[in-house]
Chain A
Amino acid sequence: MENILFEMNTSVFVDNYKATAPVSCIENAALCIRGLNVAIQGKPILKDVSFDVPPKSITCIIGPSGCGKTTLLRSLNRMHDYTAGMKVTGQVTIDGNDIYAPGVDVAALRRRMGLLAQRPTVLPMSVFGNVAYGPKLYGVKRGELLRAIVERNLKAVGLWEEVHDRLHSPAGILSVGQQQRLCLARALAVQPAIILGDEATSALDPLATRTIEELLLRLKQQLSIVLVTHTLRQARRIADHVVFMYMGEMVESGSAQQVFSNPVHDLTREFVGGSIG
């Protein structure tokens, strides 16, 4: 079962382009963010943000509301592309390739990063259809293979036992917690290298939250996870690395242990101590 891979161009999303100015970042970094600026209608939202996302670990982006966490996350898979008046400058690189370079195949790029939204966003189709959606886009047509992909990914998020007898029911009938796991299975079905989570558990009850957190902890053995969270406790529970944002700027980033127990910056200390936020 482990080897059900379908023919897809996973690593190449850049046509005829190699990053001209290689940036120095940590070895094997899943993502390298350098001097990222985002402005909407001239108003800056992110200012000169730089950090690395280490591979096969969970990086939590923390900070008070409105500090630009979500904007930052959305810059990583170019979700701002269709937002009018949005201007992004700076570099975000994967494998040395700048995702904002001209000629980048945005669809292929996004496929490398699964997105888990704040509220579960099941597509208007069956449970099966949701998981098969991505593979189908990439040309998987054989029913047998699709079924295997669906089964494998539903098992990976622990949903198979719960839904295997209603695969063809509308996904909307599942509970919110199940829907979020379905969204995760859907993201995994296109074999991403990175999972981006935008407060992915904020709509869930504590039990469903724990299920998702346990899944993420398991998944980090294979992929890199970037999670925006506004609950510090969640970051303390699952983060390996922490990026602290404040007023659109990256204040501090480092290992979770260092940021939580021995922050360098005063603002970070105040935030993790609970006096701001």
Chain B
Amino acid sequence: MKLSRRIKDLTATRLMMLTTMSAFALMIIIGVVLAVKSEQILSGHSLWSLLGSSVWKPMKGEFGFLAFIAGTLAVTALAIVLALPPALMASIWLSEYANSRIRSLFAPVIDLLAGIPPVVYGVWGTLTLVPLISETLAPCFVDFSTGYSLLAGGIVLAIMVIPLMMGLFGELFASIPRDLREASLALGATRWETARRVVVRKALPGIVATVVLAISRAFGETIAVMMVCGNVADMPGSLFNPVYPLPALIANNYGEMMSLPDYESALMLAALILFVIIIAFNVISHAILHRLKQRIA
């Protein structure tokens, strides 16, 4: 082989390896930088007082993250609970019942919805959803709500992750062999029985993976949630109370009030907490997924 060809081959190999490795290195670097920057707040306060307290008074040097962590988890959980059933049902209908013309009409629409910038969803939430909750929905349940609430955040986030889920579910169901459906139909199963007992079952690892991806996305979603959830550092008490998720805390405050060194460090810790939650969550879900795949095979 000519030397120049060998050099090209070697360069290409190394270059591609380097890019792959740098993605991994980037993650490590982010983690390390966040940890270093959080060091100041961590040395001045016990971890328990930071994570276990919900009192957030930076001017008095009190940095309790519990309300933010709870707010993040609550908004995410609500969004997934609201999004999963309709996303799954619509995807099953599209893949198992709808004809190919409808399917090919919907596929680009779903991609389009997934591509709308979050801030647009945020504006829609502020203009439509927040007044609806405050004027119509909340009075049925509580005395007063501004509408900027856990519920508003959950709904906006749910609407944002539904197209993401549907896009992935669609590809997932399309990858399930037709033979498998026919094996079930040939035994006298109805289409619904086939969808539920065979298609969804076969797709279960993929469904879990999709939900994991949607949760990761929801954890980190900032602007749209920030615009409608009220941003008050209280523990989430009811659907109509405001919450303050971690990403919103960082986005609202970073760059301001930097005169307090503890404050900047606290915001870095907020980012670190978010980072750790997402990594831990992904590791756990990988383990679940692995077991699920073995069981279904």
Partners in one complex: yes
**B186 adjacent to A77 (CB under 8 Å):** yes
Q: Which of B190, B294, B295, B297 has the most CB of A within 10 A?
A: B297
Residues of B within 8 A of A82 (CB): 191
> In this assembly, does B189 line the interface, its C-beta being within 8 Å of a C-beta of chain A?
yes
A1-31 Cβ-contact flags toward B at 8 Å (1 or 0): 0000000000000000000000000000000
Q: B100 touching A110 by the CB < 8 A rule?
A: no
Contact with B along A106-138 (1 / 0, CB 8 A): 011011011101110101110000000110011
B-chain residues with CB within 8 Å of residue A111 when the two chains form the complex: 187-188
6 new A-B pairs (CB below 8 Å) besides A115-B186, A125-B296, A172-B297? A110-B187, A121-B179, A123-B183, A137-B187, A170-B295, A186-B183
Question: Which residues from chain A contact B290 at a C-beta distance below 8 Å?
Answer: none
Task: State which residues 163-208 of A face B: CB under 8 Å.
Answer: 170-173, 183, 186-187, 190, 196
Question: Which residue from A108, A124, A125, A187 sits with its C-beta under 8 Å from B186?
Answer: A187
B291 at interface by CB-CB < 8 Å: no
Stretch of B37-45, B194-202, B261-269 at the chain-chain interface: B194-202
Interface residues of A in 118-161 (CB under 8 A from B): 118-119, 121, 123-125, 133-134, 137-138
Residue in chain B with minimal CB distance to A77: B186
A40 interface hit (Cβ, 8 Å): no
Q: Within the assembled complex, what's the spacing in Å between the Cα atoms of A79 and B183?
A: 10
Smallest distance from the beta carbon of B32 to chain A beta carbons, Å? 42
CB-CB under 8 A from A107, the residues of chain B are: 188-190
Please determine whether A133 and B190 come into contact, CB atoms closer than 8 angstroms.
Answer: no
Q: Is the CB of A137 within 8 A of B183?
A: no
Within 8 Å CB of B296, what residues of A? Answer: 124-125, 170
A21 and B295 alpha carbons, distance in the complex (Å): 51
Contact, CB under 8 Å: A170 / B183:
no
Residues of A within 8 A of B295 (CB): 170
Question: Which chain A residue has the least Cβ–Cβ distance from B103?
Answer: A84
Tally of chain A residues near chain B (CB < 8 A): 31
Q: Is B177 an interface residue (CB 8 A)?
A: yes
Interface string of B167-190 (1 = CB under 8 A from A): 000000000010110111111111
Q: Which of B177, B188, B201 contacts A137 (CB 8 A)?
A: B188
B99: interface (CB < 8 Å) = yes
- Whether the pair B188, A79 counts as a contact (CB closer than 8 A) is no
B198 touching A117 by the CB < 8 A rule? Answer: no
Using a CB–CB distance below 8 Å, which chain B residues touch chain A? 99-101, 177, 179-180, 182-191, 193, 197-198, 201-202, 294-297
A-B contact pairs, 12 of them (CB 8 A): A79-B186, A110-B187, A115-B182, A115-B183, A117-B182, A123-B197, A124-B180, A133-B184, A133-B189, A137-B188, A186-B183, A187-B186
Report whether A121 and B180 are in contact in the complex, using a CB–CB cutoff of 8 Å: yes
**A138 touches which one: B180, B188, B294 (CB < 8 A)?**
B188
B residues less than 8 Å from A117 (CB atoms): 179, 182-183
Say yes or no: B188 contacts A134, CB within 8 Å: yes
Distance to closest chain A CB from B57 (angstroms): 54
Specify which chain A residues have a CB less than 8 angstroms from the CB of B182 in the assembled complex. Answer: 79, 115, 117, 121
What is the minimal beta-carbon distance from A185 to any residue of chain B, in angstroms? Answer: 12
- Complex CA–CA separation, A170 to B185 (angstroms): 20
**Which residues of chain A come closer than 8 Å to B100, judged between CB atoms?**
84
Contact with B297, one of A77, A134, A170 (Cβ below 8 angstroms) = A170
- Chain B residues within an 8 Å CB radius of A183: 183
Partner of A124 from the list B99, B179, B188, B198 (CB cut-off 8 Å) is B198
Bound-complex Cα distance A107 to B193 (A): 11
Cα A79 to Cα B182 in complex, Å, equals 7
Across-interface contacts of A190 in B (CB, < 8 A): 187-188
Smallest CB separation, A121 vs chain B (Å): 4
Task: Say yes or no: A119-B179 contact (C-beta < 8 A), given A124-B296, A172-B297, A173-B297.
Answer: yes
Give the chain B neighbours of A121 by CB distance below 8 A.
177, 179-180, 182-183
Most chain B CB within 10 A, of A119, A121, A183, is at A121
| A-B pairs with lowest CB-CB distance, top 8 | A111-B188, A115-B186, A170-B297, A172-B297, A124-B202, A121-B183, A134-B187, A121-B179
- The chain B residue sitting closest to A13, CB to CB, is B188
- Cα(A123)–Cα(B185), bound, Å: 12
With a CB–CB cut-off of 8 A, which chain A residues contact B180?
121, 123-124
Bitwise, A223-258 to B at CB < 8 A (1) or not (0) is 000000000000000000000000000000000000
CB contacts (< 8 Å) of A171 on chain B: these are: 297
Cα distance, A121 to B191, chains bound together (Å)? 17
When chains A and B are docked, how far (Å) is the Cα of A117 from the Cα of B187?
12
